[in-house]
Amino acid sequence: MTKALDPRHHAPKGSGTGLLAVFGSTLFQLSGVFMLSPLMLVMLKEREVSTTLAGLFAATTWLGIFIVTPFASAITQRWGRRRAMWFASGVPLAAAIGFMATDHLGLWFALELLAGIAGGMRWVLAEAFIAEFSPPERLGRTMGMYATMVGLTFVIGPTLLAWTGSSGHAALGLVITLLTIGLLWTALIPPIAPPAEPDTAHAGPRGLWLAVQQHPILMLAGFIGGFFELGLASILPLYGLTLGMGASAAALMISVSGAGSTLVAIPVGMVADRFANPVQGRRTLMVAVAAMALVCAAALLAVVRLPWIVWPVVFLLGAAGSALYTLCMTDIGAREKGNQLVNSTAVLVLNYTLGGLVASGISGALIERSATVTFPLVLMLVAGLGLGTLLKEHRRQT
């Protein structure tokens, strides 16, 4: 803990090349993945597969992430970070080739599960690499830039699919090309020198539990971030339709939330870097973001009288979720190194994903019960609990 705050802590040799390689690898990989995901759903529907089965296929990706994340640090410790990253980049490419080579539905599910496992490894490892390679004084900005780039891949992938169309092999061929380029970028990631002191961090579930104990407030903030960014985005069309919007306007709510998530990451990271006491500064920003989420959730109670208010609220809630995740990852990157960095990143990913699953799991029932009262009240409860806990911790440390 103290070593991460030591002014002698600097980015490792080759950090510029490392950052460029991780950014390039992730840009091409995720653009390919987010082009492949909707393409596979279209291909399943063309085979007249039921909507339920197609939904289970999409959920297989998240299952893979949940399977691998608790073991990411153990795998990394055994294979080494670069080799694990090669695995994370190579498996989606192999899966895409498999989708082109076979029509067997069972194999498609198996390949999608493997791709999800690789995706979970990439999620953890890429952010750990960013934290290792980034200059400490620009860590927040670098994390924000990375989060913004990831957000853009959600747009790039589907846009490329719309350009190529889903018929024939052109779309899969472009996916394979993107994933291949991403794999080549991965090969450019330089090795990280071993720490001067032995890395004694535990791997596997024990290491994850220790990370939770060391960063409980960050894990709570990560959960809330996933709740408002990942989870709400998935049910916004349903919320819009319940409010009486047309299908196009309801679907547009996802884009508005995504715009908030994408646009806020870099400014928040840059502000976090400018505090004289970065740790206290990041916690202050977390409190402010949680307060904003609470105010926005309360504003939804007025949506019946002021329908237009839903658009800025959706934008700001997406921004709040993204800001909390960016600040949490910046805080972890500033404090931890080596296996403990991988452990803490893995736990943050789990909590963020869990927050998203909880939000998407309960929001349908809440909207069905009352989209204008019960739903906002539960959002207020989540934001309020987060704000109270963060504020209490902030006051304890000042």
Domains 10-192 and 205-397 share a fold: yes
CATH of 10-192, one of 3.90.420.10, 1.20.1250.20, 1.20.1270.30, 1.10.3720.10: 1.20.1250.20
pLDDT exceeding 90 applies to what percent of the chain?
A: 24
Q: How far apart are CA 230 and CA 322, in angstroms?
A: 9
How many helices (H) and strands (E) the chain has is answered by 16, 0
- Whole-model pTM: value is 0.78
Contacts for 194 with CB less than 8 Å, ≥ 6 apart: none
Label residue 197 by pLDDT band (50, 70, 90).
very low
Max avg pLDDT among 36-50, 200-214, 283-297: 283-297
In angstroms, the Cα distances linking 90 to 114, 120, 177, 209, 280 are 11, 13, 12, 29, 40
Looking at residue 4, its pLDDT comes to 39
Label residue 288 by pLDDT band (50, 70, 90).
very high
- Ranges 21-25, 226-230, 248-252, 287-291: which has the least confidence: 248-252
Looking at residue 46, its pLDDT comes to 78
Q: How far apart are CA 71 and CA 289, in angstroms?
A: 31
> How many C-beta neighbours within 10 Å does residue 82 have?
17
Is the Cβ–Cβ distance between 132 and 5 less than 8 Å? Answer: no
pLDDT tens digits for 157-196? 888 888 888 776 788 899 999 999 999 999 998 887 665 4
Max avg pLDDT among 278-282, 355-359, 394-398: 355-359
Is the predicted pLDDT of residue 296 greater than 50, yes or no?
Answer: yes
Is the predicted pLDDT of residue 398 greater than 70, yes or no?
Answer: no
Is the predicted pLDDT of residue 204 greater than 70, yes or no?
Answer: no
Is the predicted pLDDT of residue 6 greater than 50, yes or no?
Answer: no
- Domain 205-397 falls under CATH 3.40.50.300: no
Taking each helix axis from N to C end, the angle separating 15-46 and 51-68, rounded to the nearest 10 degrees, works out to 150
Complete DSSP assignment for 143-192: HHHHHHHHHHHHHHHHHHHHHH-SSSSHHHHHHHHHHHHHHHHHTTPPPP
Is the predicted pLDDT of residue 8 greater than 50, yes or no?
Answer: no
Compute the radius of gyration of the chain from its Cα atoms: 21
pLDDT tens digits for 94-144? 999 998 888 888 899 999 999 989 988 998 899 888 888 888 888 888 888
Looking at residue 209, its pLDDT comes to 67
DSSP 3-state assignment of 75?
helix
- Ranges 63-67, 207-211, 348-352: which has the least confidence: 207-211
Q: Show me where the domains of the chain are located.
A: 10-192, 205-397
